[in-house]
């Protein structure tokens, strides 16, 4: 089935499943488990939603808690390593929860929810504060737009952008932005925040220090990106780091091979597919649900568990 056909099939199935009663949606989730599939979720920011649209939309804490409770009601949430090892054995659907980027809101908003519900999670971090680096470019852009507006922000960056999407696409291509207004001083995750996650029993993975698009790097740059900052992050957390999340989910066969050579155990994209024992360990898919309500969240989770699993192990 081509990607276009798969998208059409997904849209048609989504319309149907969203109209199903709760019992049938749960049956779909159980069917996914019968196929020995798991679903890995990925979040990029948790915090209060602002009135304006932003480059990186956070999921409100109350909605994140709603999604986690919905998962617990129909399945089991397991450590990410169990999914990678395909060691989960359950009569219920299996899920794993992950977070990307050094978002300081994780400790304030996500960690209390995870702790209260007893949910294990993996945080793919860069550890930028350990190297004197500031926030990611999208955090700077978001706050600048709030402070001075889109037009002024684009002008400061030297790019003509009519929309946030256009500006974000350009920034993503360079993965770095020059200095903006001195009023733009967003917070960044500090070492104490990272230690708090580790002390709470959360797994720490690596997201590369500078968050560049890995397939665009030459071999030397790629090897540096996969190692720079990794040892310092491991030293801070007191545990080895052998899980990687690709910046922007971008990967190709060359990058996957380099990741394996660098000693990682598994690496993760941002595809929407489910994961099975046949999934390639360096092309593990994750679904980004955003701020869906519990009903739509479970319906779409059911679809992903049933429509097909991630790349087969021989793909790369």
* 264 domain-assigned: yes
Rounded CA-CA distance 282/256 in Å is 6
* 114 domain-assigned: no
Q: Residue 127, Cβ neighbours under 10 Å: how many?
A: 26
pLDDT value of residue 1: 44
pLDDT value of residue 92: 77
SS3 293: coil
Rounded CA-CA distance 305/11 in Å is 15
Rounded CA-CA distance 38/89 in Å is 11
CA of 235: how far to CAs of 3, 35, 205, 260, in Å? 42, 39, 13, 21
pLDDT value of residue 304: 85
Give how many domains the chain has, as a whole number.
1
Domain that holds residue 32: 3-41+61-96+204-307
* 258 domain-assigned: yes
**Structure tokens of 190?**
């500090």
pTM for this one?
0.86
Rounded CA-CA distance 184/200 in Å is 31
Q: Are the C-beta atoms of residues 204 and 194 closer than 8 Å to each other?
A: yes
Segment-wise mean pLDDT, segments of 10 residues, the chain, 316 residues: 48 48 61 75 89 72 95 90 75 90 94 96 97 85 81 82 81 66 71 97 97 94 98 96 96 97 96 84 94 89 75 48
- Regarding beta strands 122-125 and 243-245, do their DSSP bridges make them parallel or antiparallel, or are they unpaired? unpaired
CA of 278: how far to CAs of 28, 95, 274, 283, 307, in Å? 21, 17, 11, 11, 15
* 180 domain-assigned: no
* 178 domain-assigned: no
Rounded CA-CA distance 92/67 in Å is 17
pLDDT value of residue 49: 76
* 69 domain-assigned: yes
pLDDT value of residue 21: 59
CATH at 292: 3.20.20.370
Handedness of CA 213, 160, 288, 56 (dihedral sign): positive
pLDDT value of residue 15: 46
* 219 domain-assigned: yes
């Amino acid at each position: 089935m081509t990607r276009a056909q798969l998208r059409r099939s997904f849209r048609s199935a989504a319309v149907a499943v969203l109209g199903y009663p709760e019992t049938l949606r749960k049956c779909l989730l159980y069917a996914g488990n019968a196929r020995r599939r798991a679903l890995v979720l990925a979040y990029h920011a948790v915090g209060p939603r602002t009135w304006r649209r932003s480059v990186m939309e956070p999921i409100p804490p109350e909605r994140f808690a709603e999604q986690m409770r919905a998962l617990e009601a129909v399945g089991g949430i397991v450590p990410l390593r169990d999914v990678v090892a395909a060691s989960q054995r359950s009569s219920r659907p299996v899920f794993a929860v992950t977070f990307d980027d050094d978002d300081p809101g994780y400790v304030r908003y996500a960690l209390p929810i995870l702790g209260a519900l007893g949910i294990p999670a993996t945080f793919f971090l860069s550890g930028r504060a350990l190297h004197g680096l500031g926030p990611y470019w999208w955090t700077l852009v978001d706050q600048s737009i709030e402070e001075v507006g889109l037009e002024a922000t684009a002008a400061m960056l030297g790019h003509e952008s009519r929309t946030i999407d256009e500006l974000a696409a350009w920034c993503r291509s360079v993965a770095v932005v020059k200095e903006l207004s001195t009023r733009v001083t967003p917070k960044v995750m500090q070492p104490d925040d990272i230690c708090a996650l580790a002390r709470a029993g959360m797994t720490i993975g690596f997201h590369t220090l500078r968050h560049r698009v890995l397939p665009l790097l030459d071999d030397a740059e790629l090897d540096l990106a996969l190692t720079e900052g990794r040892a310092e992050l491991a030293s801070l957390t007191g545990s080895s780091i052998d899980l990687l999340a690709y910046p922007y989910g971008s990967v190709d066969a060359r990058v996957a091979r380099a990741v394996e050579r660098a000693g990682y155990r598994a690496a993760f994209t941002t595809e929407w597919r489910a994961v099975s024992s046949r999934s390639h360990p360096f092309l593990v898919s994750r679904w980004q649900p955003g701020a869906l309500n519990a009903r739509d969240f479970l319906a779409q989770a059911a679809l992903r568990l049933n429509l097909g699993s991630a790349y087969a192990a021989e793909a790369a």
